[in-house]
Structure 1
Amino acid sequence: MSLMLQEITEQPVVLERTIREELSKVQRVGKLLRKKDIDLIVLAARGSSDNASLFGRYLLEITTGIPVSLSAPSVFTIYNSTLRLNRAVVIGVSQSGEGIDVNTVLQRAKECGAFTIGITNEPESSMTKIADETLLIHAGSEKAVAATKTYTGQMLHFYMLASALIDKKIPFERIPNFCAEALQLRSSVEQIVERYVFMENCVVVGRGLNYGNAYELALKLMETCYVVAERFSSADFFHGPLAIVERRFPVIMFAPCGVTKESNLLLLKRLRELKADCLSITNDAEVASLSSRHISMSTEIDEFLSPIPFIIPAQLFAALLAKAKGLNADAPRSLSKVTKTI
């Protein structure tokens, strides 16, 4: 078994451990932030952490009503600008805690008056020495180049933080069990993968809370399978990109039952007319019926809690597709585990 596949299977335990070890700290930080006059949240990240942050942006805006911005690190690192952040919370998200650009954003944000939080898997990293508060992912060592368990751990922290910032409790404790159930789909995913062994290009679609997952699966397909994967929301896909679709063109969709269903169905019907090859990760019967093939998730998963369990079969798909293509998912060409950019 590859390291990537092994680490995918570890996620339910990692998520449970992170809740157990970090929940009280997150609640304390949330209580502190609620006393502050915060009118902006800024998220700074790269790679998979940036995709987790894209999810965090949707979640925090939906739950707290506070505007959330994804940081452009080059504003600080290249253009050396100063921002007014005295009423902002700036959250740096990094698996290693050593991203130079992300840590620079945190340091400069503190100088600009922001309260800073770091989300990382490494308790002794540079990030922990910069941020005012650190939220740890208790994932153990992540050895595969492609992030899996740290990605979902970062997403979990956004759930816990959102819950700590609002009066309504978010039932994120259910997520580890949903993930354990999703891991049971491996044999089904393995059969589906056979259909895509020769895939060289595809589009990944997700909307709302699953938009970040579209970016994440596309990244996994690019780095482990060398598939050129574009990513869009189901709404944006109608604005030009639809023109690339032709007969049997692969489109992979995150399509939970919920408020995004209508737009997903609209796109699926159009793709069906174009005779595209549509693979849906879904727990909705109507979506499944319109898809060329589908991965069936539990109907107990509410859309609001779907992003973490829904990424599990997507991670399995990428890891198993790499194996089917004869590629080593643990050693993608030209890549290393820790990437330091400015």
Structure 2
Amino acid sequence: MPEGAALTQMAREIAEQPAAIAQTLDTLLPQRSEITALARGRRRLLLIARGSSDNAATYGRYLAEVHAGMAGALAAPSVATLYAAKLDLSDTVTIAVSQSGATAEIVETLAWAKECGAATVAVTNVAGSPLALGADVALVTQAGPELAVPATKTYTTQVAALAVAVDALAPVPGRLDAEFAAVAAEAEQMLLPDDALDAMVDRLAGTEEVLASGRGLAFGTMLEVALKLEETCLRPVRGLSYADLKHGPIAIVDASLVTLLVAGPSGPTLPGLVDLAATVRAAGSPVLGIGGDASFRAACDLAMPGPALSELLAPLALVIPGQLLVERLARRLGLDPDAPRGLKKVTQTD
């Protein structure tokens, strides 16, 4: 679809996110007490997901450890579906995340976790789906139907649902409530035109090599933006924690590569990303930034601000500038962002 054509379905669904996030939070926050009761006496969190849902789960893992003080991990579904390993999960809450709630691998892995003794929670956009029916508690996001293949509003509502679930696991649930109330308005701000957007599209349209980096609570957001560039714009992207990047891969950085950095608004990982921006710029790579603070954006060649939320909840809206970037870039490249090559809405794996 050429740039300037009628609004794409992906663009429409990006614009629906503030309302979808608000409705999801309104619906799910009253369910915190169910999760708190379900989790009583359990000390670990295991998250099950694939694709964009896995990027949302990455955020959930960081939030669980930083905000709730609960050890978290991402499951390897093949341990259940292929190896049929028997684990003791009696001290574990397991959250499975799936937009459709119909991906057989995720449904089977949640059932396996329950057989191993875990308390189970489903995060899905479809009430009555196999995943929702198989869980002890179902958190049904309120994104409504999503017609474009790339996940946008289903992703951000999953992130919102995980924030609710993790807050329910915290020693004192409810401490994020004032900020939960501000998320939808901040998501709306992310939809406003930004002067840097077109220039960032120009930089990405002129390269075949993209490196993405981030760390901490915003790491899942960076992975999601990188995935969207790959699946929607057919751009191979290497997404790495900046800590991993410094252990060797930084040698690939040069003037032929564009670096995309995604940062939360504050926190202990932000100074490292500012330093990384200077390092890759010194190697000749143009640096594009999303989020961060004024010093981070000044360290980038081009940057768009993120939401005015804390580091804990910024990921509920931080991805939106990246989504806008991807949708605009796909059209610039003559691609259809609504139906990327070779992809379907529900992906089945073994």
Same fold (TM over 0.5): yes
Task: Identify the residue that residue 87 of structure 1 maps to in structure 2.
Answer: 91
Question: Which amino acid in structure 2 is aligned with residue 176 of structure 1?
Answer: A
Aligned to 1:40: 44
Matched, 1:269 2:278: yes
> Is the deviation greater in 165-174 or in 269-278?
165-174
**Range with greater deviation from structure 2 (180-189 or 91-100):** 180-189
- Greater Cα shift, 264-273 or 87-96: 264-273
Gaps of 5+ in 1: none
Within-5 A mapping of 1:238-249? 238-249=246-257
| Residue equivalent to 1:303 | 311
Per-residue deviation, residues 151-179 of structure 1 (Å, max 9, x unmatched) = 11111112112222221611222111111
Match 2:142 to one of 138, 156, 163? 138
Residue of structure 2 in register with 1:280 after alignment = 289
Query: 1:159, 1:172 within 8 Å by CA — same for their partners in 2?
Result: no
Per-residue CA distance 1:113-151 (angstroms, 9 max, x = gap): 111110000112111121111001111101111001111
Measure how far apart 1:310 and its partner are.
Answer: 1.5
Which of 176, 180, 183 does residue 172 from structure 1 map onto? 180
Q: Secondary structure at the match of 2:273?
A: helix
Please give the secondary structure, in 1, of the residue aligned with 2:41: coil
Letter aligned with residue 314 of structure 2: S
Q: Is 1:121 aligned with 2:125?
A: yes
Deviation at 1:269, TM superposition (A): 1.6
Counterpart position of 1:185: 193
2:4 matched residue in structure 1: none
Structure 2 unaligned runs (5+)?
A: 1-6
| Alignment pair present for 1:59 and 2:63 | yes
Q: Are residues 116 and 256 of structure 1, via their aligned partners in 2, closer, same or farther at CA, if it must alter by over 3 Å?
A: closer
With structure 2 as the length reference, what TM-score do the two structures score? 0.93
TM-score normalised over the length of structure 1: 0.95
What is the match of residue 29 of structure 1?
34
For residue 67 of structure 2, give the secondary structure of its aligned residue in structure 1.
Answer: helix
Picking from 214, 223, 227, the partner of 1:219 is 227
Q: 1:206 aligns with which of 193, 210, 214?
A: 214
User: 2:317 is paired with a residue of what secondary structure?
Assistant: helix
Residues 14 and 153 in structure 1, CA contact (< 8 A), matched pair in contact too: yes
For 1:31, give the aligned amino acid. Answer: T
SS at match of 2:139: strand
- DSSP-derived class of the 2:93 partner: strand
Equivalent residues of 2:200, 2:288 under 8 A apart: no
Kept after mapping to 1: 8 A contact 2:265/2:314: no
**Distance (Å, rounded) in 2 between the aligned partners of 1:283 and 1:72:** 31
SS at match of 2:120: strand
Whether the aligned pair in 1 keeps the contact of 2:209 and 2:256 (CA below 8 Å) is: no
Give the conservation status (yes or no) of the 8 Å contact 2:212–2:260.
yes
Alignment-mate amino acid for residue 145 of structure 2: S
Q: Residue 301 of structure 2: which of 288, 292, 303 is its match?
A: 292
Could you give the per-residue CA deviations for residues 162-209 of structure 1, whole angstroms, max 9, x where no partner exists? 222221611222111111001003564234312322322201111100
* CA deviation profile, 1:89-127 (whole Å, cap 9, x unmatched): 111100000111111111111111111110000112111
* 8 Å Cα contact 1:185/1:313 also seen in 2: no
1:91-106 map, 5 Å:
91-106=95-110
Map Cα deviations across residues 202-249 of structure 1 (whole Å, 9 max, x no partner).
Answer: 011111001111111111001010000010112111111101111142
Pick from 16, 20, 41 the counterpart of residue 14 of structure 1: 20
- Give the % identical residues: 36
Aligned partner letter, 1:22 = L
Kindly tell me the number of residue pairs found equivalent between the two proteins.
339
SS of residue paired to 1:304: coil
Task: Describe the superposition over 1:254-289 as per-residue Cα deviations: whole angstroms up to 9, x where unpaired.
Answer: 123322121112211211211211001134222122
| Contact 1:49/1:95 (<8 A) preserved | yes
RMSD of Structure 2 on Structure 1 (CA): 1.4
Does the aligned pair in 2 maintain the 1:88–1:115 contact within 8 Å? yes
